[in-house]
Amino acid sequence: MNIYSYIAKRLLYTIPILLGVCLLIFLIFNVVAGDPTPMLLGKHATAKQMAALRHELGLDKSWFIQYLDILKSAFTLDFGRSWFSKQHIASMLQTGTVISLTLVVPTLFISHLIAIVLALLAAYKRGKFVDKAMVIVTVMLMSISALTYILFGQWLFAYKLGWFQVAGYTPSFPEVLSYITLPCLILIILNIGADMRFYRTVILDEIYQDYVRTARANGIPEWVILGKHVLKNAMIPIVTNFMFQIPALLFGTILVESFFGIPGLGGILLQAINNSDFPIIKAMTILSAMFYIVINLITDILYTWLDPRIKLS
Query: Do residues 250 and 201 both lie within one domain?
Result: yes
Query: Do residues 171 and 258 both lie within one domain?
Result: yes
Query: Do residues 157 and 249 both lie within one domain?
Result: yes
Q: How far, in Å, CA of 3 to CA of 8, rounded?
A: 9
Residue 186 falls inside a structural domain: yes
Q: How far, in Å, CA of 281 to CA of 79, rounded?
A: 10
Query: Do residues 8 and 95 both lie within one domain?
Result: no
Residue 246's nearest CA partner among 106, 141, 77 is 106
Residue 163 falls inside a structural domain: yes
Q: What is the pLDDT of residues 81-130, one digit of tens each?
A: 888 888 888 888 888 888 888 888 888 899 999 999 888 888 888 888 88
Residue 130's nearest CA partner among 139, 138, 121 is 121
Residue that finishes a domain, picked among 21, 45, 76: 76
Residue 300 falls inside a structural domain: no
Domain range for residue 55? 3-76
What pLDDT, on a 0 to 100 scale, did the predictor assign at position 131?
Answer: 84
Query: Do residues 58 and 96 both lie within one domain?
Result: no
Q: What is the pLDDT of residues 22-33, one digit of tens each?
A: 888 888 877 776
What pLDDT, on a 0 to 100 scale, did the predictor assign at position 50?
Answer: 76
Q: What's the CATH code of the domain at 132?
A: 1.10.3720.10
Number of independent structural domains in the chain: 2
Query: Do residues 167 and 48 both lie within one domain?
Result: no
pTM for the structure as a whole: 0.81
Q: What is the pLDDT of residues 176-197, one digit of tens each?
A: 888 888 889 988 988 888 888 8
In terms of DSSP H, where are the helices of the chain? 3-26, 37-41, 47-57, 63-76, 89-124, 129-143, 146-153, 177-207, 210-217, 222-224, 231-233, 235-250, 254-260, 265-274, 278-306
Residue that finishes a domain, picked among 18, 45, 76: 76
Q: What is the pLDDT of residues 230-239, one digit of tens each?
A: 888 888 888 8
Partnered with residue 81 across adjacent β-strands are 88
Q: What is the pLDDT of residues 261-282, one digit of tens each?
A: 888 888 888 888 888 788 888 8
Residue that finishes a domain, picked among 41, 76, 111: 76
CA angle 277–280–283, rounded 5-degree value? 145
Query: Do residues 95 and 211 both lie within one domain?
Result: yes
Alpha carbon 5 to chain centroid, angstroms: 28
CA atoms within 13 A on the CB side of 75: 13
What pLDDT, on a 0 to 100 scale, did the predictor assign at position 74?
Answer: 85
What pLDDT, on a 0 to 100 scale, did the predictor assign at position 110?
Answer: 92
Alpha carbon 278 to chain centroid, angstroms: 21
